[in-house]
């Protein structure tokens, strides 16, 4: 369906966490988590992209804090989780297990999953593993981690962004350019910061140049702290090399496990990082899901049309849960 949300659907006001902590999920990894909004509200968990991207305060603002108990967490190796940019024991299945551990730690029975890009992948994988723990899903910029999608990121985006792709390739010595993913992975996992930090910055510049319909005139992303780029570049490459630890088409083949759950898919028409063909495949496999195409947007969650439709989707989810008896009690 086309975009129909009102053009003035804003983000909710800023809200500070009412609780936060680090949860040890094994002998190596500890996850940063936070909870904001209504502590007695309907739980919603934000699944960030990347993988390796981490959560930001901005991400709390997609949810009505009077209704939702808003849970954010940084996945293994990302953001404020420790150890930073760590690849050992970092797989899709570890992340799913981490979500279950966090859910139990917070005393949540069921929660709504809200994820974009890689976060949509993780939301689908978790929901298919634990459908009984899910109230529904709101997905953005769908990524199913199929080989063709990974190959598109590494090679295909040059069709639309040849300048960015050329800079991405030319960062590497000529003898390393025949296998972009393998060459970047070797550099990103090299223990020497003089090797892995420049590679992370080059990866981040490439992705950042392709993520929005209209490029940001502020080049801060490209010129920021190179260490901040390491987790997303290294962990993305790790998951790409390992095909996200999923079988080909696994998430589509298992879709019947979750078709009874309410779902809204929000997709930018001009999303180059995760093109609409993937969201279309998911919508065709899941005809009960609501599929919203934003005609004037790319991939970024910050694009006005994407923001508008995600807020509208959450308002519809709130109305649905209220009608089904899932309304949050008033604050005490």
Give percent of the chain above pLDDT 90.
90
In which residue are the tokens 């797989």 written? 91
How far apart, in whole angstroms, are the C-alpha atoms of residue 82 and residue 21?
12
**Tens-digit pLDDT profile for residues 279-303:** 999 999 999 999 999 999 999 999 9
The pTM (predicted TM-score) of the whole model is 0.94
Give percent of the chain above pLDDT 70.
92
**Tens-digit pLDDT profile for residues 188-236:** 999 999 999 999 999 999 999 999 998 763 444 444 566 789 999 999 9
Q: Do residues 60 and 214 touch, judged by C-beta distance below 8 A?
A: no
Does 85 have pLDDT greater than 50? yes
**Active-site entry in 36, 120, 299, 300:** 299
Q: What are phi and psi of 136, to 5 degrees?
A: 160, -175
Note if 105 is an active site residue: no
Can you read off the two tokens belonging to residue 120?
């949509």
The DSSP result for 45-102, as a single string, is: EEE-STTTT---GGGGGGS-TTTEEEEEEPPTTSTTSBSTT--TT-SHHHHHHHHHHH
Does 332 have pLDDT greater than 50? no
Average pLDDT for 144-155: 98
Task: Indicate the length of the chain as a whole number.
Answer: 332
How far apart, in whole angstroms, are the C-alpha atoms of residue 55 and residue 74?
6
**Tens-digit pLDDT profile for residues 246-274:** 999 999 999 999 999 999 999 999 999 99
Does 181 have pLDDT greater than 80? yes
**Tens-digit pLDDT profile for residues 16-30:** 999 999 999 999 999
How far apart, in whole angstroms, are the C-alpha atoms of residue 17 and residue 38?
10
CB under 8 Å to 256, separation ≥6 — which residues?
Answer: none
Note if 296 is an active site residue: no
The closest of 78, 23, 86 to 55, measured between CA atoms, is: 78
Specify which residues 136 forms β-bridges with.
112
The crossing angle, in degrees rounded to 10, of helices 162-170 and 193-210 is 170
How far apart, in whole angstroms, are the C-alpha atoms of residue 114 and residue 136?
9
Q: Name the strand (E) or helix (H) holding 289.
A: none
DSSP H helices, 286-327, are 304-323
**Active-site entry in 117, 120, 183, 229:** 117
Q: What are phi and psi of 140, to 5 degrees?
A: -135, 145
| Cis peptide bond upstream of 51, omega within 30 | yes
Q: How confident is the model at residue 325 (pLDDT cuts 50, 70, 90)?
A: confident
DSSP H helices, 171-259, are 180-188, 193-210, 220-223, 226-241, 250-253
**What is the pLDDT at residue 10?**
84
Give me the sheet containing 111-116, strands edge to edge: 19-24, 30-37, 68-73, 42-47, 111-116, 134-140, 263-268, 290-294
Q: Do residues 29 and 86 touch, judged by C-beta distance below 8 A?
A: yes
Specify which residues 208 forms β-bridges with.
none
Can you read off the two tokens belonging to residue 99?
């979500």
How far apart, in whole angstroms, are the C-alpha atoms of residue 305 and residue 260?
28
């Amino acid at each position: 369906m086309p975009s129909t949300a009102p053009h003035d659907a804003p983000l909710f006001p800023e809200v500070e966490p009412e609780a936060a902590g680090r949860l040890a999920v094994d002998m190596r990894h500890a996850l940063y988590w936070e909870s904001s909004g209504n502590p007695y509200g309907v739980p919603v968990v934000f699944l960030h992209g990347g993988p390796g991207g981490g959560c930001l305060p901005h991400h709390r603002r997609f949810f009505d804090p009077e209704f939702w108990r808003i849970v954010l967490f940084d996945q293994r190796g990302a953001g404020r989780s420790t150890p930073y940019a760590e690849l050992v024991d970092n797989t899709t299945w570890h992340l799913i297990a981490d979500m279950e551990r966090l859910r139990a730690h917070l005393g949540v029975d069921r929660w709504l999953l809200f994820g974009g890009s890689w976060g949509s992948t993780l939301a689908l994988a978790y929901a298919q593993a634990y459908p009984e723990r899910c109230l529904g899903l709101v997905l953005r910029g769908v990524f199913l981690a199929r080989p063709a999608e990974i190959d598109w990121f590494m090679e295909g985006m040059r069709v639309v962004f040849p300048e960015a792709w050329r800079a991405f390739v030319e960062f590497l010595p000529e003898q390393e350019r025949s296998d972009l993913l393998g060459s970047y992975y070797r550099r990103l996992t090299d223990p020497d910061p003089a090797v892995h930090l420049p590679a992370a910055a080059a990866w981040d510049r490439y992705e950042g140049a392709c993520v929005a319909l209209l490029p940001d005139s502020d080049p801060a992303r490209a010129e920021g702290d190179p260490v901040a780029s390491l987790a997303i570049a290294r962990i993305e490459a790790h998951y790409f090399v390992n095909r996200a630890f999923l079988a080909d088409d696994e998430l589509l083949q298992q879709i019947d496990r979750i078709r009874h759950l309410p779902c809204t898919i929000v997709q930018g028409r001009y999303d180059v990082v995760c093109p609409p063909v993937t969201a279309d495949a998911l919508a065709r496999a899941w005809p009960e899901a609501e599929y919203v195409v934003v005609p004037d947007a790319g991939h970024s969650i910050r694009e006005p049309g994407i923001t508008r439709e995600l807020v509208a989707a959450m308002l519809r989810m709130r109305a649905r849960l209220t009608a089904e008896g899932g309304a949050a009690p008033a604050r005490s």
